[in-house]
Amino acid sequence: MPKREDLKSILIIGSGPIIIGQACEFDYAGSQSLRSLREDGVETILINSNPATIMTDPTMADHVYLKPLTTKSIVEILKAHPQIDAVLPTMGGQTALNLCIQADEKGIWEDFGVEIIGVDIDAINITEDREKFRELMLKIGIGMAPQATATSFLKGKEIAQEFGFPLVIRASYTLGGDGASIVYKPEEFDEMLSRGLEISPIHEVMIDKALIGWKEYELELLRDRNDNVVIICAIENMDPMGIHTGDSITVAPAMTLSDRTYQKMRDMAIHMMRSIGDFAGGCNVQFAVSPDENEDIIAIEINPRVSRSSALASKATGYPIAKIASKLAIGYHLDELDNQITKSTSALFEPALDYVIVKIPRWNFDKFEGSDRTLGLQMKSVGEVMGIGRSFQEALHKATQSLEIKRNGLGADGKGYKDYDQIISKLTIPSWDRVFVIYDAIQLGIPLSRIHEITKIDMWFLKQYEELHYLEKEISTYTIATITRELMLEAKQKGFADRQIAHMLDCYESEVHKKRTLEMDINRVYKLVDTCAAEFKAMTPYYYSTFEAEIEKPDGTRYVENDSIVTDKKKVVVLGSGPNRIGQGIEFDYCCVHGVLAAAECGYETIMINCNPETVSTDFDTADKLYFEPVFWEHIYDIILHEKPEGVIVQLGGQTALKLAEKLDKYGIKIIGTSFQSLDLAEDRGSFSELLKANDIPFPEFGVAETADEALALADKLDFPLLVRPSYVLGGQGMKIVINKTELEEHVVDLLRKIPNNKLLLDHYLDGAIEAEADAICDGKDVYIIGIMEHIEPCGIHSGDSNATLPPFNLGEFVLQQIKDHTNKIALALNTVGLINIQFAIKDDIVYIIEANPRASRTVPFIAKAYGEPYVNYATKVMLGEKKVKDFDFNPQLEGFAIKQPVFSFNKFPNVNKNLGPEMKSTGESILFIDNLKDDQFYDLYGRRKMYLSK
Amino acid sequence: MKYQAKKKAVILLADGTIFHGKAVGDKEGTAFGEVCFNTGMTGYQEIFTDPSYFGQLMVTTNAHIGNYGTNSDEVESDSVKISGLICRNFSYEYSRTVADKSLKQFLDENDIFAISDVDTRALVSYIRDQGAMNAVITTDIDNLEALKKKLSEVPSMEGLELASKVSTTDPYFFGEENSTYKIAALDIGIKMNILRNLAKRGAYIKVFPYNSSFEDMEVFAPDAYFISNGPGDPEPLSDAIAAAKKMISSGKPVFGICLGHQIIALANGVSTYKMHNGHRGINHPVMNLRTGKGEITSQNHGFAVNREETEANTDLEITHVHLNDKTVAGIRMKDKDVFSVQYHPEASAGPHDAEYLFDQFFDVIKSKSSQAV
């Protein structure tokens, strides 16, 4: 049956601010869903409170509501749009589902005659209520781990008595493994049990016997109204049971499953989906498989909605799950839809991969001092990267290169651990670095069997690691002069970076690149992600790189096949922002996507390079060409050599893209917009303060120190309190306010230990100052300030953690004028072409400059949403030289004030210091519109300011 | 595994194009066959032992092959049927508790030559565009001219009868002797999992060689007939076609799979043709026209039944169609209990979506035999 004609207007619920466990994958899902529904002529109405998303752009839906995700907002929207026929709650994660259920319980949907589509509320209730779920599974003959429910502390204790340890405690109705823990010892049990009960909104926990060490898999399913079900992707967790799947290194396709066991699992998944309810849409099922000869399969859970894993599965296979799930929700059958990649075959099919993807989570433990860094059942990562390669080893290497944690891949960088006890302990207690430690362990000669015994990671993966180790050993017996082409090709095919090979051969990276490209003719080629392993011709420009063997034509000419054909159009590369992390989140993806779209409007062929599977920028529908590659020098340089673009846009992708500017400049590649020299000038405190002095702009007194002695000497000159920070960092990492010499010394020693050879900046801290910031667009001649924001929190709280009010609420004309003047002067003095963000401290009516960043900032999307203007689009056109600032007809619209509110994920880190300071800790943001300053919520926030000041 | 340099090897296609790679293990070898590819991401052991692949040089598109070793229990016939393997990454070491051998050992024992490190994606695209063709894989790279000459002498798959090479020479039995039903199966390359599926549903099966006559089979007094899958071109299988005609007129239920499906079509006067590229994978979408439901199927065929002739034939109804290219995926005879599918409901490797066809076969057998009583 085709599309339902009775669904003419649909409400979509977004996922709100980014928190751990619910990140920008839902912006990707929501954006796809909106596009998909509009394609079919359906009117779309969206509610989401997160301004940093693409989905909340005015062009994405017919009506966008940037409102708090509450039933009150829902009622307001339904009153304003009585034409809404249905609500699609499956694109906004658990937040949207919970809101949908709440509204359902209050009878709101019924009152307004709105149908819930894409999901079945009973299905959600079954899957969320572990007891019901368990009963159902047993009824349909699906195995589960021994499990029982406790609604009281006493009952919990009884269950533990019966099952014995280790046990798993999971809180009902929670997200991302909140309140879940593995308990190995009886003495830990009481605390974990209380915590689980507390966190569950219905005061209920499930206690399971732990299947530690079983292999873990996830299947992504789609079902239509005709009950056709297809499996889009099977994902294998390299980290077995015991680590939350969001914190596990995962691989697709499944690497170690026989057909027999896989098909059994497939049957079970389909049976489960059909049993929980009657709905059309996406679904995710998790299984555990016993690693013994029985290969027993046990169901862990089922999520009847689009999830983080479906975003990964979409990027891993090229099959756009959210897009198709939306079509299924409005009535289409799978067989009526086209495969979106081939456009010639059916959407009713299961993708075949001829490559491997590896996802590695990105953690930010350094931001949560005192946090428990052990990985377990509760998700702690803040983002993820995906590597695509023609082998597991290549994909694994690419993923590790994408993480931006100053590693070049596995081994060969002198950073590995060498201490036996330390390695054993790091294998035993998994944390962010275990993926590297496994390699260190092999290099130290620890037997694979021992590593397997400790980690339970399947031997196949460990043997892949071991092969890399032996290859490294082999290469190390050569020099750059003696290495053979064959060995070089093998090293590249297994993903070793030129830098790593240089380390093995003891030479420079540039020598390796030169040798392999010019002498050996070993060049990256690009292959398509096409859903069908080349069985059909595919048109969609979604590429990854690899190295391949040669092909010889009958006439003797040799070539290596490259799927990415270079056109003769003028092109521009936009560098993405890599994995989400604190300080660099979805805002930059928003900027990159708009940069791409603006460049396309100017007639450029757009090329996106990014490695974050959760994002809209890595949707193959966004840029003309998507290279899903690490934002890592070697990969970028090779793409540039292949595509020969006019230039590269670095100012939209946050610090990740920006820090590649120097090398691009060195290699003579044009940086679009503000030049590297200006970017560098703004970053270098010495030269920047000269610039400020020359322009007569005040700034807090500061100095640069490289040792603790120098820092102490500086302190005498600058006076306490001091703000101490390393240069070139993100989100205020390592930034601290110190009030005396003891604190200063401690912090300096600590910083120099963590980041050796870094220069430290010491600023006199303006105690009690007001903080403000401005974003502007500059074309080198004219400056337009797009917004000035006043922070409610005083100076000293990181701007990302502050509530920022647009426009300022109590800055006088005199102060505002200084802000405007300084912004103008600095933008011009830096020869800014594009965006610039300047942060100010205001004390005694004097405006001081804290810092200037000639790039897109975290606040640009917020201002764009508050004023309803496409600023990134404008800025990109300015960067490209297509437009001047004067060409735009600026017309910001805002009644009252907009407040950017930070959102934290502290509940994932129970013991962490929640005090805010110069180091950013928030994971996301939401927007709040208020009519005037009498608003209660503003009062509340403003009241908190006093608290900070009194500290 | 310690680092080990591997011997160079190539695939030489009939049109003279060469794809470079390396020999699996330190073997030297040469193997001829028609190049075909399979996009399955699991089930290599089942695929390699599937008699329908006889004479094929198999390109596996999955990035890794051999990860979970092999298990003597998961074979589709008693030996490896492909003539050679072409892959990207070969797993010399495996991990699976129930596996008894590595894929390397398994291939060695069957004397099958394999090459790895080939740009299989480029090879598949090439075959996709140029059509299936004969090729040779070899380590004998200094002797390519001679091999090229030899290659030109290898007959094309079109018109090639291969069932005789894989069929049993003597009849044999499968299943419990005291089962409710008896089925006579014509083996033109039968997969073990078909027999398992039939036996599981309560049949005792007698498997007959490819050249058996209907009369040979009739002696077994079966409740129904089955015509198996198999390799090669169906048209030269005149014995099988003749037997099929008589099976149809016997009034007993007849079920055909793959090559067996083509035989049933030929017995109805519908011709078959060699496809530009066959269907080989475990993710092929088929629409059941009678129920309106889709199914994901395991497929392996290089020939297909002529669609126009089937539509024009008043005795036949198209029951299943391949969703990607609308080729005929299943037929039934309107007034008889005869039906067949082009794909593999027995899966192995592949999804179980189409297993209901065996149930359907047994439903027909059941109602037939109750009528007889």
CATH 3.40.50.880 domain locations along chain B: 163-372
Please indicate, yes or no, if residue A583 is contained in any of the structural domains.
no
Please indicate, yes or no, if residue A70 is contained in any of the structural domains.
yes
CATH of B8-153, one of 3.40.50.10490, 3.90.550.10, 3.50.30.20, 3.40.1280.10: 3.50.30.20
Looking at domain B163-372, what is its CATH homologous superfamily?
Class I glutamine amidotransferase (GATase) domain (3.40.50.880)
Which positions 10-29 of B are in contact with A (Cβ < 8 Å)?
Answer: 15-21
Q: What share of chain A is helix, strand, coil (3-state, %, to 5)?
A: 35, 20, 40
Residue A116, token pair as written in the block? 């819930």
Nearest CA-CA partner of A681 in A832, A858, A782: A832
Nearest CA in chain B to A461: B95
Our CA-based measurement puts residue B12 at a distance from the nearest CA of chain A, in whole angstroms, of 9
> Which of the residue ranges A57-66, A123-132, A655-664, B196-205 would you say has the lowest mean pLDDT?
A123-132
Q: Are residues A202 and A251 in the same domain?
A: no
Please indicate, yes or no, if residue A713 is contained in any of the structural domains.
yes
Q: Are residues A885 and A773 in the same domain?
A: yes
Q: Which pLDDT does position B231 carry in this prediction?
A: 96
Q: Which pLDDT does position A943 carry in this prediction?
A: 84
Does ipTM exceed 0.85?
A: yes
Q: Assign A192 to helix, strand or coil.
A: helix
Please indicate, yes or no, if residue A397 is contained in any of the structural domains.
no
Tell me if A50 sits within 8 A of A343, measured CB to CB. Answer: no
Instruction: Give the model confidence (pLDDT) of A642-666 as tens digits.
Output: 999 999 999 999 999 999 999 999 9
| pLDDT surpasses 70 at A336 | yes
H-helix or E-strand containing A678? helix A676-683
- Spatial separation of the C-alpha atoms in residues A339 and A351, rounded to whole Å: 10
Q: What's the rounded mean pLDDT across residues A246-272?
A: 97
> Which of the residue ranges A7-16, A129-138, B71-80, B297-306 would you say has the lowest mean pLDDT?
A129-138
Phi-psi region of A32 (alpha: psi -120 to 50; beta: other; left: phi over 0): alpha
Q: What's the rounded mean pLDDT across residues A61-80?
A: 97
- Ligand-binding site membership of B300 (annotated): yes
Q: Are residues A855 and A931 in the same domain?
A: yes
Instruction: Give the model confidence (pLDDT) of B30-59 as tens digits.
Output: 999 999 999 999 999 999 999 999 999 999
| pLDDT surpasses 90 at A686 | no
Q: Which of A215, A224, A256, A258 to mutate to test the interface with B (most CBs of B within 10 A)?
A: A258
Please indicate, yes or no, if residue A730 is contained in any of the structural domains.
yes
Strands A542-546 and A625-628: parallel
Q: Are residues A745 and A829 in the same domain?
A: no
Instruction: State how far the alpha carbon of A515 is from the alpha carbons of A155, A483, A488, A502, A724, in Å.
Output: 68, 10, 10, 11, 44
- Spatial separation of the C-alpha atoms in residues B196 and B194, rounded to whole Å: 5
Measured from the Cβ of residue A107, the count of other Cβ atoms closer than 10 Å reads 9
Q: How many CA atoms lie within 13 A of B179 on its CB side?
A: 21
Q: Which pLDDT does position A950 carry in this prediction?
A: 64
Chain A residues with beta carbon closer than 8 angstroms to that of B89 = 390-392
Q: Are residues A813 and A904 in the same domain?
A: yes
Q: Are residues A759 and A773 in the same domain?
A: no
Kindly report the pTM of this predicted structure: 0.95
Which positions 841-880 of A are in contact with B (Cβ < 8 Å)?
Answer: none
Tell me if B328 sits within 8 A of B307, measured CB to CB. Answer: yes
Domain that holds residue A338: 215-351
Q: Is the dihedral of CA A736, A739, A740, A743 positive or negative?
A: negative
User: Are the Cβ atoms of B281 and A226 closer than 8 angstroms?
Assistant: no
Across the interface, of B91, B122, B324, the residue whose CB is closest to A345 is B324
| CATH at residue A903 | 3.30.470.20
Q: Which residues contact B298 (CB under 8 A, 6 or more apart)?
A: B40, B281, B282, B284, B343, B344, B347, B348, B349, B350, B351
Q: Are residues A192 and A238 in the same domain?
A: no
Nearest CA-CA partner of A862 in A924, A782, A778, A943: A924
The structure tokens 């502290």 sit at A906
Q: How confident is the model at residue A731 (pLDDT cuts 50, 70, 90)?
A: low
User: Are the Cβ atoms of A535 and B128 closer than 8 angstroms?
Assistant: yes
User: Are the Cβ atoms of A226 and B39 closer than 8 angstroms?
Assistant: no
Report chain A's mean pLDDT, rounded to a whole number: 93
Please indicate, yes or no, if residue A358 is contained in any of the structural domains.
no
Instruction: Give the model confidence (pLDDT) of A829-868 as tens digits.
Output: 999 999 999 999 999 999 999 999 999 999 999 999 999 9
Q: Are residues A738 and A829 in the same domain?
A: no
Which positions 249-268 of A are in contact with B (Cβ < 8 Å)?
Answer: 253-260, 262-263, 266-267
Q: Which pLDDT does position B33 carry in this prediction?
A: 96
Phi-psi region of A943 (alpha: psi -120 to 50; beta: other; left: phi over 0): alpha
Q: Are residues A930 and A805 in the same domain?
A: yes
Instruction: State how far the alpha carbon of B6 is from the alpha carbons of B9, B87, B106, B121, in Å.
Output: 9, 14, 19, 21
| Interface membership of B133 toward A (CB under 8 Å) | no
Of A522, A550, A569, the position where a domain reaches its end is A522
Residue A787, token pair as written in the block? 């917004």
User: Are the Cβ atoms of A460 and B95 closer than 8 angstroms?
Assistant: yes
User: Are the Cβ atoms of A551 and B19 closer than 8 angstroms?
Assistant: yes
Q: Which pLDDT does position A739 carry in this prediction?
A: 87
CATH 3.50.30.20 domain locations along chain B: 8-153
Tell me if A576 sits within 8 A of A618, measured CB to CB. Answer: yes
User: Are the Cβ atoms of A356 and B91 closer than 8 angstroms?
Assistant: no
Of A732, A764, A796, the position where a domain reaches its end is A764
> Which of the residue ranges A7-21, A138-152, A166-180 would you say has the lowest mean pLDDT?
A166-180
Q: Which pLDDT does position A711 carry in this prediction?
A: 86
Please indicate, yes or no, if residue A454 is contained in any of the structural domains.
yes
Q: Are residues A773 and A742 in the same domain?
A: no
Of A744, A764, A784, the position where a domain reaches its end is A764
Write the single-letter amino acid at B130.
Q
Q: Which pLDDT does position A726 carry in this prediction?
A: 81
Q: Are residues A291 and A226 in the same domain?
A: yes
| Interface membership of A466 toward B (CB under 8 Å) | yes
Q: What's the rounded mean pLDDT across residues A482-488?
A: 97
Please indicate, yes or no, if residue A331 is contained in any of the structural domains.
yes
Instruction: Give the model confidence (pLDDT) of B339-348 as tens digits.
Output: 999 999 999 9
Instruction: Give the model confidence (pLDDT) of B173-228 as tens digits.
Output: 999 999 999 999 999 999 999 999 999 999 999 999 999 999 999 999 999 999 99
Across the interface, of B91, B281, B287, the residue whose CB is closest to A535 is B281
Percentage of chain A lying above the pLDDT 70 cut: 99
Q: How many degrees, rounded to 5, is the angle at CA A764 between CA A758 and CA A770?
A: 115
Instruction: Give the model confidence (pLDDT) of A858-904 as tens digits.
Output: 999 999 999 999 999 999 999 999 999 999 999 999 999 999 999 99
Our CA-based measurement puts residue A387 at a distance from the nearest CA of chain B, in whole angstroms, of 14
Q: How many domains does chain A have?
A: 6
H-helix or E-strand containing A219? strand A215-223
> Which of the residue ranges A448-457, A762-771, B27-36, B302-311 would you say has the lowest mean pLDDT?
A762-771
Q: How confident is the model at residue A163 (pLDDT cuts 50, 70, 90)?
A: confident
Q: Which pLDDT does position B372 carry in this prediction?
A: 62
Q: Are residues A155 and A186 in the same domain?
A: yes
Residues of B classed as catalytic: 258, 344, 346
